[in-house]
Amino acid sequence: MKKDKRIPVFKNEDKEREFWATHTPLDYYDTKNIKGASFPKLKPSVKSISIRLPEDMLAELKTLANEKDVPYQSLAKIYLARQISLERGLLQVASKKRERKVNPQHQNQ
């Protein structure tokens, strides 16, 4: 069975819908024009680390995670993210206070 590799031009959406109801795009897929792709600068979004925790802290984390019905590693990430945000917010407030002491003209702004 010889395949016609060209997709026809349709007069309207109804004709196109009828055509694709009885055909598959795979009939028009040409493997001869495939080009390989590489992503050399693509980095994984997560990185595995190893962290040592006291056994009782890990047990408490697992208990809390179980109560919240989430994996304990996910809960640890949530807690870390929350604390980092809190620290960043406090650092920004502290730096603004220092800036006001250094540059008193900013107090009126």
Encode pLDDT of 28-62 as tens digits. 877 777 888 888 888 778 888 999 999 999 999 99
Which pTM value belongs to this model?
A: 0.45
Q: Length of the chain in residues, anyone?
A: 109
CA angle 80, 86, 90 (to 5 degrees): 145
Q: Is 18 a member of any domain?
A: no
Q: Is 86 a member of any domain?
A: yes
Q: Is 4 a member of any domain?
A: no
Q: Is 55 a member of any domain?
A: no
Encode pLDDT of 1-21 as tens digits. 445 578 889 999 999 999 999
Q: Where are the beta strands (DSSP E) in the chain?
A: none
Task: State how many domains the chain has.
Answer: 1
